[in-house]
Amino acid sequence: MSLYVELALTAAEKDRVRSLAGEVPVWFAEPKEHTDRDAEAFARAEVAVGNCPPEWLKQAASLRWLQLSSMGIDRYVGLDWAELGRRITVTNLTGTFADPVAQTCLAGILALYRGVDELARLGERHQWSTTPLRPGLRLLTGASVVILGAGTIARRLAELLAPFGCEVTLYSRRMTPGELDALLPETDVLVGLLPGTEETAGLVDAARLALLPHGAIFVNAGRGSLVDEDALVAALRERRLGGAVLDVTATEPLPPDHPLWSCPRTLLTQHTAGGSDQESGQILEVFEDNWRRFTSGRPLRNIVEWSRGF
């Protein structure tokens, strides 16, 4: 057996992996800097950790388990899992990014409510503008928040909002689209934390954006496919929305000429919400637990269910 590792690790973290693997040979590759030798090592590996190129999986005859270094599985969805799934088990990082993503969402909401985004732009211009801004600053206290999703990130964000006395509703599979539509006219903050599936694509369309009250804020840290971006741009430019916090977009990286770059009161956090100075350590913790399970024949955690899309 051999182990292929494609993570950005320190020397100490690599030693940690070698210690875990024991006598099992380990190959370390740099993410997104693949060489022919990396591809050869992957083809020999029975276990791999990291987000390898999807096309490699088709030729990886020895691979039995792939531990992704992400929660999202979008780039692998198009593969034939009816065939690949017979020999390869894929696990992801569900639950690992709950704190950082929830904190980014909260930080963005507070930035828009308290005018931090506008104050930062004024600071770049060395412009003092206290009097015009003060009357428009808002309080998050008691706000009505609808979170699209009911997973670990959604539940953690609800916990972070609790001290503000927010009225939080989690939209899950148990609710109907009609129930969501009934909530939107009273929603101050709408947060998207859903996976990218056929059911969630375009859920936040022009009609639902129009149901939100004037000045509502839209946050998306799930998948860019959730929202009709043309409709979102229109709502922001017309200032029907009070702003947006977007960690994800339909196309990433966002093209330089995309209108979202210049929309008013729009914070683009560039898919960094899951990041932290503890990220690599957290990934290794998940992998280590599953490695011990794999090598002892116990069930793995966070197995991807391809039929459900996450």
Give me the tens of pLDDT residue by residue for the chain, a chain 310 residues long: 999 999 999 999 999 999 999 999 999 999 989 999 999 999 999 999 999 999 999 989 999 999 999 999 999 999 999 999 999 999 999 999 999 999 999 999 999 999 999 999 999 999 998 889 999 999 999 999 999 999 999 999 999 999 999 999 999 989 999 999 999 999 999 999 999 998 999 999 999 999 999 999 999 999 999 999 999 999 999 999 999 999 999 999 999 999 999 999 999 999 999 999 999 999 999 999 999 999 999 999 999 999 887 8
Q: DSSP class of residue 227?
A: B
Residue 25 CB neighbour total at 10 angstroms: 13
- The active-site residue out of 271, 292, 293, 308 is 271
pLDDT in tens, 198-247: 899 999 999 999 999 999 999 999 999 999 999 999 999 999 999 999 99
Distance separating alpha carbons of residues 131 and 134, to the nearest angstrom: 6
pLDDT in tens, 92-129: 999 999 999 999 999 999 999 999 999 999 999 999 98
Our answer to whether residue 271 is catalytic in this structure is yes
Dihedrals phi, psi of 84, to nearest 5 degrees? -65, -35
Q: Residue 187: how many CB atoms within 10 A of its CB?
A: 22
Catalytic residue, chosen from 18, 223, 298, 301, is: 223
